[in-house]
Structure 1
């Protein structure tokens, strides 16, 4: 299913976001509004978490059919902090393992008055497919779709860059690693380009480079040392062996030597460059521990921002649905 189709499905008849399936098609103003609301909810570690009752009376169901720590927990916390009831469903506890179709699972939760469904699945196109069949008051949020899209991750990455580096129009950003299999990279590309990044670079070994029709406008590198030179932001990606079929990548030690983000490589970037990673990390494979835990790393800030961004998305979607009901 195309991202263009997903972009259309996620809007209601008046053009408001009813679901969030992809960042493709969101305007700069829409992304900025989500980031501004996330900043309102953002707190630093040690502060009391932001809370309100925007989702009071709502039920959020988290349907994770792929493993997750950061995304699942942050959606759960975000919903709870907005006053929602939260139900968690994973592959092991779902009747889907008994042969139940995903739509029957959705209809069951819908009958129990779950009205916001957060989905992660390895099947491309599934969130948009489900969005076509749910009741008018039900919203679908994509928490990670195959290799295609992870919109809230793209938003939290953009928020982290904005907080630490400021104006995108002045920045050079590098996304490096397993681009071919990365939904994170695709959503980050949508966010960064929509926000007007000055220069976006992508770098990967040849076997992990995406097709020429993807990441339009980005400068491509297969030499990480050239790619990292003079950039302001370094986002490195996990090697996703679970999505690979026949890619001839080297062993982990060789990959780290030839493509990993080490302290020596990071020194080629601008002195105040930040280092990002969506997690989970393969330490000393795509990123050296000294870099991941170093002074230029904002990886833990990304995790913190994940809750704030998901609060902003949940609140925005719920308000849009309420507005639709009000004018019907």
Structure 2
């Protein structure tokens, strides 16, 4: 008899509460069908798992929190890269939707994918949106994929202005993978109009790495941005404190915006890169195994 999906999720969350390490090993086995090596990790995915569990989880939590990440950007003098906010709220009921502009974006501070984009307030069902927000606010995202740095973040709702490109322009997101403070790879979507996003990994000088299993042409649909050097300089400065982080930036009408820091992309379960690339990227990460090993910070119990 198969368990309902909700029951499986609950059971897994209880395992993660007891041990994020065991939860991570289960996820890894389910995804790749071989055991996760945390004693001597070699591949990119294995080393990301090690970092997720042992690399000063408390420190990374400060930058995972979307509100505190904004504060950090301001201290670095990068306030001009932040999308202007309309407000930050502790409770769903504190939001007065009638007073919001016609277009806006709702984000929760404590998880990934907790975003609601409103392009026309007249078409929004306020009651349904409040229910959706309440579900997001109540969720402990750290339990979903055994990611301790998402635990114990104060759930808050950030309302940002809706930034849209002018006519005939498009917005492009650049996910810059940084290793030991050096931008090494730029992940972009080749064609966002496709049902399944076509991802490419490019070098810092905009050459296709061919690291992805699915081959897509590298052509004018993802032309090199004029602000490439500036993107890399920003990523280099932001990534300096970390062994690994993906700095997610966006360009809209030639202006750069900061989106977020990502410490465990794809929940450290990237199935899109081929094995040779997984090995090569793993060599770029030098871990401090045996020198410093922080205890795993457990997820919230509530």
Higher share in strand:
2
Q: Which TM class, normalised by the smaller chain length?
A: under 0.3
Structure-1-length-normalised TM-score: 0.23
Structure-2-length-normalised TM-score: 0.25
Higher share in helix:
1
